[in-house]
């Protein structure tokens, strides 16, 4: 299997795993803090939107053969 733009597939998987872990840590810390305001929740959701849109754009621009 070929990676995106010639990158090895393991680097792409590592980046995806790192992004998922980052979002998970942000959401867990947001849930654990008692003063979780709506600002942090909207920041987390906007981060998720940006990540999903960027990953979707990369996949759309570079479909796997």
Q: How confident is the model at residue 15 (pLDDT cuts 50, 70, 90)?
A: confident
Give the Cα separation of 50 and 42 in Å (integer).
12
State the pLDDT at residue 62.
Answer: 62
Q: Are 24 and 44 in contact (CB under 8 A)?
A: no
Could you report the per-residue pLDDT of 27-62, keeping only the tens digit for each? 777 665 555 555 555 656 666 777 777 777 666 666
Average pLDDT over residues 6-13: 78
Q: Rounded to two decimals, what is the model's pTM?
A: 0.38
Give the Cα separation of 50 and 65 in Å (integer).
25
Q: DSSP readout, 1-65? A: ---GGG--HHHHHHHHHHHHHHHHHHHHHHHHSTT--HHHHHHHHHHHHHHHHHHHHHHHHS---
């Amino acid at each position: 299997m070929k990676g995106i733009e010639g990158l090895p597939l393991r680097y792409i998987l590592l980046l995806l795993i790192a992004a998922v872990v980052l979002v998970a840590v942000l959401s867990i810390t947001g849930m654990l803090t008692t003063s979780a305001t709506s600002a942090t929740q909207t920041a987390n959701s906007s981060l998720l939107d940006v990540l999903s849109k960027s990953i979707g754009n990369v996949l759309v621009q570079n479909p796997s053969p």
